[in-house]
Structure 1
């Protein structure tokens, strides 16, 4: 087939700053100018300040939209906008109310900003009425805790929202956001989590500054390692360290800092009590927060036979080192299984593929079976889309049919770049009774929030592999987790301390494994006196108990940390709940968010400068394009600068066939819902919009409808040639499959005229469905919400 594109008739003279696929502009990288991250840690507590600086180079007011990530376990507790030497503190409101305040402020000609959470880990910032030449800064404050296990603490700060696979059928009506993907029935907020993406080598990157001050607070800090960025480390007084990222780093991968603690006993079992300093927290929430750290027993558990299903992502976004690491990771765990264990491997993209030379279902972990599985893994290459739901359901069904006398584990190895997280959690949750889910995230910009949610849902463990150097250590940890836990069936009881009912977070308590302390947060009422008792069952069937006395620590951040953990649990319950149970959960989420000043899906921080600075006309709207993650392969672009477009947005031939769209040099056209027409007016650039092959399909459809007699065969031959390249359109699976089936039907054209007419009618039916041009299609009334909704 031929994809219509418009080429540059006279390519501009390249300059030293022109990157591959970038379009020249004298206006810089719009509108985000700089990111500044300041981190301070005390022990395992972290305090982070993120500053986003926006600049308006236009001669008219600007509204900037930026889709960005934050650590999923950190609590966003404040927003401050600085413009024209004025500082305006944001206020947390219910989301619809905050949006109304923001929209009203913009229409009245006032500066305003609003921060919204789309899902755990993905946020949207809008800053409106930035005056020509003006700079506006947004400062966000976060509170959290460093993850700790195996003698190592980890701080991760994500810097880019990677392209995500968006399954499902497009919804009618306008999209709810300004991203490059259309909303679908599987991902109803797809347009709010898919920012446009810069082609590699864009010459005006966002200026990045990261600095972390580390106070070990008595922990034996033995070393610091930054796995993805080059850093400088300075010694400060009192055993503190300062870590700085070297200037010039791009915003294209996570910042990961690991703190090696010199002793495996550096972190001990403890109970910290933090009375509320604020007096406006409703009494229903109790009088204070607590953090309970529980170390596992030192003795080893007697191993039990295991049933393990490995689910391996081989989709296009896993190309390059990630596919190699995923194969190695899976093979390494398979090799640890014994003959008493049973297992299988499900590799997936658009389809699910078990090892060809193994029986279906779970097989014994014999040498022969393990060899066949490893042999199969060695041949896997990245391809296709990330249809994750089906293989996970198949894995859960395989494990659900077995008896409870065996340890059952599902191990998912992926980058997690899917948009239908809520759909997956909703469908999978009822099938995971007695099954532990362990997730391995492989990427420099992994979708950690989803993988942690999935592991938490299954009472399992999440492990990050951000580089091949990290693989061995991560696989050793996963190997221990799929073994027999040291303690299971955990519960917490008050021993003089009055715990607020149903306040523990996480709600589902995982088992205790060697090297992995369990950290729980909760709320207490009354005085900060007494202790907590942790009760469980050891692998041999004997009871296990620990009693920890409380110690008061007036840390105001602990309430926010509990609030964030509690909201995360409630949101997961909201996603998996029956329709009639969601209203009460939504009220609980909003009440927790407002009481503890922690942003959630149903609230937003809004800041309004009461000065009137414009006449109230609609400002120019710009959606900030983001970097392609460092390890991702750039799209293949025909020379000299040709690009295909879908629906007004730049669309690449997504990595190895995966449906990740929105790769752009100039990220948006005027035809998009949020314009980004920032190319200089005299630039010789024009772009066509063939609509993902629908223009060609519509033309063939019109001719096939009218074809008669001898006209049918040449038209079917033309359609056959068009279908040969249909995989290059980057279509969703539900669109692609009927076209593939039609291509199979047309592979051999019959001589019989009646059969040719039958194929003509079949082709008309398929093309009508693909183009939406069917006389029998019923009208559809759009049903949309103004922000995230339950799919």
Structure 2
């Protein structure tokens, strides 16, 4: 049984995927990624290899080819069902074939079938995709090459026969390496490049530092997501880039007309960014599946994901404004909420919630996020309190499209902020929730701390909402525009907004155009304008065309899934758009066939499932994974009889039947792993807070004040007598304690300001509301007690 797990062959030889080489070409905010996967069949019989792997959910997959010896076969994009039939027919006829298709459930999962690979032969598979680079809070552009594809939990009501099989192994057992090099080109100078992996030094290619190269250190084992953070000077400059149409494409078509990409960076006035809402309904939805019992990273002091989530909820609960409403949901195979409905935020409700947060464990089974969302949306909204969802998950779900569609359906009643925890979180899910929910997405990977990223999103949620967003084009006579991106529904301060549009027609005169984004903010109208040239010079490629096509394909797919009388027509429109642009979709697949001897395969093809790494911090999970050889490593000997085409098609049905049996086994393993029933692992009680910052924040009242007691003295590392002795005469004890807390934060924990900024703002507001005259004396005495030199103005007093 162990030999059929997909990790080794029947002779205990390594799986056929030997290495992965990646070339990244970055132009400004867009990356073109070329990945080459080398397969070798070291067995005595023909082999079919199956590799399920992740790609960024928002990328445009646009090229697939295979090289066998000196012969290269370039794949064609076809209707998915036709491509599958051609694949079966080719294998039955003795040819080599390659099939690459996107998962029906999630656009960030792909399955590659390599067959029939003769004994001793190698095949180099090359795929190319284009992706936008996400803007981070510190203005870095983030490129991520996902390596980890965790087993996706499949809800009971879903058809498991349609789910891609994921084979995962502990990170240290991944049997292939990665070579990655990146060429960077930017209109602005490149300041630096950082990574979660070891890099060779950055090499500049010109004097103004607008071009550079960087690469991973040699021998890198592809056992984690590879993240590059690119820093440009003046990265927030708005841009408009026009790409000319293809001469070979039909005029008037998407690929034949010019396409423009607009990048806007709204900068709000200081009065807006400093004013925070005092109302709202805040609902925190926290993943409590068994996988949340993994560590955040592989470092020595890594916390469990659920532990980091508890710390984050503490910060959130302390940072909410008085008078708002809130609730907390935990979900796994089932879900539960702290309160039957959202409650008003005050001292007693905050205390009750914190007590329940301290008892939260990763003990709720699988990852079923759809049902709690349905329940939340069934609750009536609270008048004058806009609903804001904060969703925390490691993203291991199998029904991504259903979840995202549900959020889109309810977008008019809420905003959704999403957080992907740990490596392997689905980019399609996390980004999709935020995009369709008019919110913002964050990923917490490696040694990232969850708290500052979550607090940044809370700031967005508390800022005044931008209303009535419109895009107005000013184009010469004879030129019109068709927007390819979905309408802009939300703008945040300092966050990039991207728009793609197709320019139609010809202008005999003025070659210039402009576009204006207009919106209302606190009853004032704001305008941002960009100009651009309608006719770019030289060969500009088709990168923006394909990203624009990808944006349109995703929008139409959401509408198609909603059903209705237009679904059939939409499917045909999607199919033609995908084929015309060369960008894969739900309805298409890449198929490549290399005609060999033409002799039908005799006997069964060996089927080998290539593993992807699954990172875990739980020793018991690692033991489980090692003992069973990883998920999806079953049914590897998929029979395929020699014979006519009809038999080959029948065999696809046989394989799917075997796959259904296998996935039932996978589902059982995943459930057992999540609940840890078979591991008999005792769930540890939550650890007491050891971080002095979190200890201090845990003592704050809902109003923003602190009380003078022994717990406060312990955090400040002073005795009760010292605190009492230095308190100014006539000062209120709570004002004195709250002033000391502020001085401690600003004087000793300034580097963590992103985490405690709202706590401090509440404290300063509370002190001001007391209207006492001893604040200056309290600040002076507090500085002397704590050995700080913080100015009263700095404290907001």
- TM-score, normalised with respect to structure 1: 0.72
Distance 1:444 1:78 in 2: 26
Mapping 1:383-422, distance limit 5 Å: 383=363, 384-398=365-379, 400-403=380-383, 405-422=384-401
Alignment correspondent of 2:244:
275
Residues 135-157 of structure 1, C-alpha deviation per residue, up to 9 Å, x if partnerless?
00111111222112431211111
Alignment correspondent of 1:226:
195
Distance 2:427 2:142 in 1: 13
Residues 114-135 of structure 1, C-alpha deviation per residue, up to 9 Å, x if partnerless?
2111131111111212111110
Alignment correspondent of 1:189:
162
Alignment correspondent of 1:433:
412
Q: 1:350 to 1:100 in 2, by over 3 A?
A: closer
Alignment correspondent of 1:445:
424
Match of 2:264 among 290, 294, 304: 294
Query: Is this contact kept in 1: 2:83–2:590, CA < 8 A?
Result: yes
- Return the offset for 1:54: 0.9
Alignment correspondent of 1:681:
none
Alignment correspondent of 1:334:
317
Distance 2:281 2:587 in 1: 40
Q: 1:335 to 1:492 in 2, by over 3 A?
A: same
- TM-score, normalised with respect to structure 2: 0.72
The SS at the match of 2:34 is strand
The SS at the match of 1:611 is coil
Mapping 1:491-506, distance limit 5 Å: 491-496=470-475, 503-505=483-485
Distance 1:270 1:312 in 2: 38
Alignment correspondent of 2:221:
250
Match of 1:57 among 24, 42, 46: 42
- Return the offset for 1:636: 5.3
- Return the offset for 1:639: 10
Alignment correspondent of 1:698:
none
1:379 aligns with 2:359: yes
Q: 1:351 to 1:540 in 2, by over 3 A?
A: same
Query: Is this contact kept in 2: 1:195–1:623, CA < 8 A?
Result: no
Alignment correspondent of 2:403:
424
Residues 494-542 of structure 1, C-alpha deviation per residue, up to 9 Å, x if partnerless?
211688676331x142321112021111212124844344444333122
- Return the offset for 1:642: 6.7
Q: 1:40 to 1:411 in 2, by over 3 A?
A: same
Alignment correspondent of 1:73:
58
Q: 1:550 to 1:619 in 2, by over 3 A?
A: farther
Alignment correspondent of 2:671:
730
Alignment correspondent of 2:181:
211
The SS at the match of 2:202 is strand
Q: 1:503 to 1:618 in 2, by over 3 A?
A: farther
The SS at the match of 1:233 is coil
Alignment correspondent of 1:683:
none
Query: Is this contact kept in 1: 2:33–2:128, CA < 8 A?
Result: yes
Query: Is this contact kept in 1: 2:514–2:529, CA < 8 A?
Result: yes
1:198 aligns with 2:172: no
Query: 5+ unaligned residues in a row in structure 2: which ranges?
Result: 295-303, 642-660, 678-797
Match of 1:522 among 482, 501, 506: 501
Alignment correspondent of 2:732:
none
The SS at the match of 2:361 is coil
- Return the offset for 1:449: 0.9
Alignment correspondent of 1:462:
441
- Return the offset for 1:39: 0.7
- Return the offset for 1:487: 2.5
Alignment correspondent of 1:16:
none
Distance 2:419 2:438 in 1: 14
Mapping 1:18-29, distance limit 5 Å: 26-29=11-14
Alignment correspondent of 1:751:
none
Q: 1:200 to 1:260 in 2, by over 3 A?
A: closer
Match of 2:559 among 534, 551, 573: 573
Alignment correspondent of 2:90:
105
Match of 1:354 among 318, 323, 337: 337
Alignment correspondent of 1:599:
584
1:487 aligns with 2:456: no
Mapping 1:4-43, distance limit 5 Å: 26-43=11-28
The SS at the match of 2:565 is helix
The SS at the match of 2:81 is helix
- Return the offset for 1:402: 2.2
- Return the offset for 1:340: 3.2
Distance 1:257 1:470 in 2: 17
Distance 1:214 1:377 in 2: 45
RMSD (Å), alpha carbons = 3.4
The SS at the match of 2:200 is strand
- Return the offset for 1:417: 0.6
Distance 2:626 2:38 in 1: 31
Moved more, 631-640 or 319-328: 631-640
Matched residue count? 625
Distance 1:52 1:419 in 2: 26
Query: Is this contact kept in 1: 2:50–2:114, CA < 8 A?
Result: yes
Alignment correspondent of 1:83:
68
The SS at the match of 1:615 is coil
Distance 2:99 2:670 in 1: 36
Alignment correspondent of 2:544:
558
- Return the offset for 1:591: 1.6
Distance 2:607 2:40 in 1: 11
Query: Is this contact kept in 2: 1:128–1:619, CA < 8 A?
Result: no
Distance 1:74 1:560 in 2: 10
Alignment correspondent of 1:139:
126
- Return the offset for 1:49: 0.5
Residues 164-197 of structure 1, C-alpha deviation per residue, up to 9 Å, x if partnerless?
111114xxxxxxxxxxxxxx34x5622x2x3223
Query: Is this contact kept in 1: 2:470–2:519, CA < 8 A?
Result: no
Match of 2:115 among 128, 131, 137: 128
Query: Is this contact kept in 2: 1:438–1:455, CA < 8 A?
Result: yes
- Return the offset for 1:207: 2.0
Match of 1:365 among 327, 345, 350: 345
Alignment correspondent of 1:659:
none
Distance 2:458 2:143 in 1: 23
- Return the offset for 1:446: 1.2
The SS at the match of 1:283 is coil
Alignment correspondent of 2:743:
none
Moved more, 487-496 or 41-50: 487-496
Query: 5+ unaligned residues in a row in structure 1: which ranges?
Result: 1-5, 9-19, 170-183, 644-649, 651-661, 676-690, 696-725, 737-791
Match of 2:286 among 293, 312, 326: 312
Q: 1:344 to 1:38 in 2, by over 3 A?
A: same
1:542 aligns with 2:542: no
- Return the offset for 1:200: 5.9
Match of 2:567 among 572, 575, 582: 582
Residues 322-368 of structure 1, C-alpha deviation per residue, up to 9 Å, x if partnerless?
2222223333233221013221111112232323xxx5322223344
Distance 2:557 2:481 in 1: 18
